[in-house]
Amino acid sequence: MNGIDILVSEVGPRDGLQSISQIMPTAAKCEWISLLAAAGVREIEVGSFVPPSVLPQMADTAELVVHARTIPGLEVAVLVPNLRGAENALAAGAHKISIPLSVSETHSLKNVRRTHEQMLDEIRAIAGRVSALPEAQRPHFEVGLSTAFGCTLEGPVSEDLVVRLAAAAIEAGAAEVGLSDTTGYANPAQVRRLVKKVWDAVGREKLNGVHLHNTRGQGLANALAAMDIGITTVDASMGGVGGCPFAPGASGNIVTEDLVFLVEAMGLRTGIDFDGLLRAREYLCAALPDVEIYGFTPEAGLPRGFGEQ
């Protein structure tokens, strides 16, 4: 992957900022995104194309895509809830479009107000729009299987249903699926088991990434389990900001700074520079003074001699 072993995909500008009441100014978001990219972050989910009446924090996503596209080498990702959102993402020029397909239908109705079948219809429609574009202009289209490990609204989620929906999403035209622990229910054994089941159903090349939350302190353990069996993309949010506003208690994204330390400490490459990452964190803390920012590594500092061996 262009000189790296693990792609740390930064989702703070979307999953982080959508979950707090404070609205970060567009100029501040642009500067934060620029600092993240300068630190070596290769992929950033800059926002979500949802109606401003639903999430006013995401009202400037099109402007953020335009800004982020000016940064060389940065993969610009966005979340969309439906075809209309995808059309806005296409117009803005996003490199990657993700749509959530909640395995918990209760969560799907709460989150995007659609059943599984309605969401599969949206996926087919988006895939049709993407495939109609010239090949060089097509964004990568991913379906994120939300609440794949459990749901605060329904409780346990059937792994067989996760597998069936993964296969249905690929059949509907998605290039890839991802597994999302929206509510922080997952454990390492479950992560290994479910990734393998989905691989068996759709192929290894159709599942490369996971989106994990640290709600119950299992985020890094789950990330390590995923990487150990071959997952190569892990989502994280700077300072651990964010969660899901439509899943009660679903706080706590993995802290980007701690994930980067974990990966680099194991001798794997993220391509991310710690000094640059801490500059981006300092900027975020100044921009969101009333928001709690997490992270063990920034508090403790890097071990003496780290990175010199």
Q: Where are the alpha helices (DSSP H) in the chain?
A: 26-38, 61-68, 83-92, 105-111, 116-132, 159-171, 188-202, 219-228, 256-265, 274-287, 296-300
Which residues are part of the catalytic machinery? 244
Which residue has 């996971």 as its token pair? Answer: 210
The β-bridge partners of 45 are 77
* Secondary structure letter of residue 185 according to DSSP: -
H or E stretch including 177? strand 176-180
| Cα 229 to Cα 146, 260, 264, distances in angstroms | 21, 18, 17
Residue 141 contacts residue 127 (beta carbons within 8 Å): yes
Helix pair angle (83-92, 61-68), 10° resolution: 40
Which residue has 């929906």 as its token pair? Answer: 165
Tokens of 274: 């710690």
Single-letter amino acid, residue 124: R
